[in-house]
Structures are given as C-alpha cells and as structure tokens.
C-alpha cells in the first residue's frame, strides 16, 4: 500500500530565511504525482506545487520549490524568503492512479514563521 | 466565484443523532469526494463520486453514507454518529478523477464534534 510520511510535526523559520519540509513516500508504482498543500489557520486547503514523477526537473512556483528524489522516494518542499503568511500546516500528498482519484496525505508539518 | 461550499461549518451533536453535512460546487465538476482530517493522520478519503449516481468507498467509509443525485451536490450522511467521528471534514471537487491534471478544489471544512 502506498504511504506518505512527514517526519517533522513542527518546524520554525525566521522571516526572510529558507526552510525545507521533508516528505517521503512508499510506492511500487513508477508513474505517479506528488503534491504539497498549504492549510492556513482558515483551514482552507491550498495547492502549493505539484510534481510529475516522470519529470526529472524539479517543480518551482515562485518562492516554493521541490527537491524530488525518485530513487530515494523523497519529495521535500523548500520555501525561500519566508514570509509571515507562510505560517500554516503543510501536507504532502501522493496521487494514486485507478483508485478513484484518491490523494494519500502525510501527517502534516506545522510551520511557524518568526518575525 | 468558483467555489465548493459546505454547511454547516461547525456542528456539535450527540451520539446517535442523525446528521447531514452538505457540499455543493458551482464549477460543473464531475468528480467529488469527502475527506476527514485528524491530528497525526492527515486527510483520509471517506467516499468519492466519479459522476452522478456513481459513488464508491474510500479508505474510511465505516459509519458514513453519501448520495449524488445531482452533479453539484454531494452530501455526507452520518446515520448514527459516534465520538470517533469527531473530526474536520472536507469536501473536494474536480473536473474528473484525474486530479493530477485537473486541480482538486477543497471546501472550507466542517468541524464536527460528537459528544
């Protein structure tokens, strides 16, 4: 069964600094998709970034980028120039083909940003 | 405004009292699903619907029912709620189950407490 693990329940970063959130996953599939979602205190789930497993190039979205290591089954999120508005719970998720469009989520990492 | 709405946003109820959490989307999406979010477990899929009249179980369907009589609505029904169903619930929708390609939109969440 596919699993997603976020081993850091909480992280903290100073404003304007860089922080990396870790995510590992377990799958026997060769083709899949990975996502990072942000959940601010409003509880809204916001898609931050996604990565296709067949692409070697790491995805980037403005200050957000990923380090995708397929062989190691690792998918970390780097946030550069952290801002107060980045404070949120971050979830890593894996998309499962042919299983009803299901996303498998990790446990979440609570990120705090210090001014 | 394109959105997924859920009602109620907050609910406190007692064991055994039937309740329904409504979900509605205005984007003409075919695919809808329900997740529950619990601390340390992330989000887990309860039920999903590929299109009208087609629904299927996710990973944690016990104690829940759904129906999809209209494309826009996908209510979650708890026939006899129990305290272990205390959780944060999210409805989500997308154009299709290929959520790697079609972004999945999440509702604002419903905080349910069962006493």
pLDDT confidence of residue B39: 94
Residues near B50 by Cβ (< 8 Å), separated by ≥ 6?
A: A100, A101, B30, B31, B56, B97
Q: Do B42 and A100 touch (CB under 8 A)?
A: no
Q: What is the mean pLDDT of each run of 10 residues along chain B (115 residues)?
A: 94 97 96 96 95 92 96 97 98 83 88 97
Q: What is the pLDDT of residues A86-112, one digit of tens each?
A: 999 999 999 877 777 889 999 999 999
pLDDT confidence of residue A98: 74
- Which residues of chain B are within 8 Å of residue A93 when distances are taken between CB atoms? 43
pLDDT confidence of residue A61: 93
Is A108 in CB contact (< 8 Å) with chain B? yes
Q: If residue B60 lies in a helix (H) or strand (E), which one and from where to where?
A: none
Mean pLDDT, range A61-68, rounded to an integer: 96
pLDDT confidence of residue A56: 84
Mutation pick from B56, B100, B106, B108 vs chain A, by most beta carbons of A within 10 Å, is: B100
Q: What is the pLDDT of residues A13-40, one digit of tens each?
A: 999 999 999 999 998 888 889 999 999 9
Cα A21 from chain centroid (whole Å): 7
Q: CA A38, CA A44: separation in Å to the nearest integer? A: 8
Window 15-54 of A: residues touching B by CB (8 A cutoff) are 33, 42-45, 47, 50, 52
Closest-approach residue (CA) in chain A for B109: A43
| Calculated CA dihedral for residues B21, B25, B26, B27, nearest 10 degrees | 180
Burial of A45 (0-12, 13-18, 19+ CB in 10 A): buried
- Which residues of chain A are within 8 Å of residue B97 when distances are taken between CB atoms? 100-101
């Amino acid at each position: 069964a596919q699993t997603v693990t976020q081993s850091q329940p909480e992280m903290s970063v100073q404003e304007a600094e860089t922080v990396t959130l870790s995510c590992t996953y377990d799958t026997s599939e060769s083709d899949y998709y990975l996502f990072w979602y942000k959940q601010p205190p409003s509880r809204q789930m916001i898609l931050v970034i996604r990565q296709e497993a067949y692409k070697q190039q790491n995805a980037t979205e403005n200050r957000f980028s990923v380090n995708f290591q397929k062989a190691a089954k690792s998918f970390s999120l780097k946030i550069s120039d952290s801002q107060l508005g980045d404070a949120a719970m971050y979830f890593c998720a894996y998309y499962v083909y042919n299983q009803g469009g299901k996303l498998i989520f990790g446990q979440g990492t609570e990120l705090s940003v210090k001014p | 405004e394109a959105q997924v709405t859920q009602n109620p946003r907050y609910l406190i109820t007692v064991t055994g009292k039937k309740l329904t959490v409504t979900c509605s989307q205005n984007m003409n999406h075919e695919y809808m699903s329900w997740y529950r979010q619990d601390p340390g477990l992330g989000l887990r899929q309860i039920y999903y619907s590929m299109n009208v009249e087609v629904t299927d179980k996710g990973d944690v369907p016990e104690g829940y029912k759904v129906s999809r009589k209209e494309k826009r609505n996908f209510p979650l029904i708890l026939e006899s709620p129990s305290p272990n169903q205390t959780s944060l619930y999210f409805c989500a929708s997308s154009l299709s189950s290929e959520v790697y390609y079609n972004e999945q939109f999440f509702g604002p969440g419903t905080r349910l407490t069962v006493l």
